[in-house]
Amino acid sequence: MNGFTERRTSGAGERPGRDDLVLTWEASSAMLPLVRRVVADILQHRQRLALLQPERDQLERNRLQLAWVERARRYEIDEEIASVAGELRSSRGELETLGVALLDADEGLVGFPTIVNNRRAYFSWKPGEEGLTFWNFAGDFNRRLVPASWTNAAKDKSEAPRRNRPKK
């Protein structure tokens, strides 16, 4: 596996956001269903904010000439923006708690921290991809295919024959 440290999976009790958090491909793949939902929420919140902000900006520019209905809408938008922004922060916090990095918020690209050749790296995923098939070094967005040997080791372990337990 040329420097890949598969056995250094962190424990569940580790603090989120630590620089020493290292996940295996297998552990990252197991987290992917939850991460998919969190990323979908993040993208939805960002889209909602992108729709609300132009309307708010226009109402703010014309605030001195607004009729009562428009003023009420301005306050509603402010409250809605605050609410959606809070939900966005909460969703980002979920990723942080899991130890997953949001690498590109516009695309929903996330990274599961790992080590490759003694360098910080990520197994990376974005919406539309079936599974964890790419990785990249930290700070380098050149995504590479995950070698089959990294995933075969995980598959081999799960397919290994189980020993029969002796009868009592």
Say what the pLDDT of residue 161 is: 52
Q: What is the pLDDT of residues 79-88, one digit of tens each?
A: 999 999 999 9
Q: How long is the chain?
A: 168
Residue 104 has pLDDT above 90, yes or no: yes
Residue 105 has pLDDT above 70, yes or no: yes
Say what the pLDDT of residue 72 is: 87
Element (H, E) at 113: strand 109-116
Element (H, E) at 159: helix 148-159
Say what the pLDDT of residue 62 is: 84
Name the percent of the chain lying above pLDDT 70.
Answer: 79
Q: What is the pLDDT of residues 113-168, one digit of tens each?
A: 999 999 999 999 999 999 999 999 999 989 999 999 988 765 555 555 554 544 55
Note whether 100 and 110 are within 8 A (CB). yes
- For the chain, what are the domain ranges? 25-159
Sheet holding 109-116, edge to edge: 101-104, 109-116, 119-125, 134-137, 144-145
State which of 13-22, 66-75, 112-121, 149-158 shows the largest mean pLDDT. 112-121
Say what the pLDDT of residue 12 is: 35
What is the pTM (predicted TM-score) of this model? 0.75
The closest of 38, 25, 47 to 127, measured between CA atoms, is 38
Neighbours of 152 (CB within 10 A): 13
Q: How many CA atoms lie within 13 A of 107 on its CB side?
A: 11
Say what the pLDDT of residue 157 is: 56
